[in-house]
Amino acid sequence: MTLAGRGHPRLDSVSLEISSGVTAVMGASGAGKSSLLSLLSEFEQPDAGIIQFEQPDASAALPLFWSPQDHGLWPHLTVEQHVDYVLPERAASGRSATQWLESFG
């Protein structure tokens, strides 16, 4: 899939498969993380290619949580409180927000 940008594509011929479970999108500034998440959350549509979601239960909502880099966090919460807020079912994995944050350093 491709997502146009000014002068050059923000994403160019990207192909990926995300398995079930928890996935974090991490990378250097300008690598395309926000562009990818904009496509996955359907804030934007690709200029070329398709996005296909395959879920066992088609009626269920896609379990996607996104914390935008600018103006998307609540100023009254700590980072740990933000992570705790979006943990599905209080971490079906059995891991706490602190443990998730520690695993990413």
Contact 86, 63 (CB under 8 A): no
Convert the pLDDT of each residue in 8-51 to its tens digit.
899 999 888 888 777 888 888 888 888 888 888 778 899 999 88
Tell me the pLDDT band of 1, cut-offs 50, 70 and 90. Answer: confident
Q: Against a cut of 0.75, is the pTM above it? A: no
Contact 40, 64 (CB under 8 A): yes
CB neighbour class for 3 (10 Å; exposed up to 12, middle 13-18, buried from 19): buried
Convert the pLDDT of each residue in 58-105 to its tens digit.
666 666 666 666 666 777 888 888 888 777 665 566 788 888 889 888
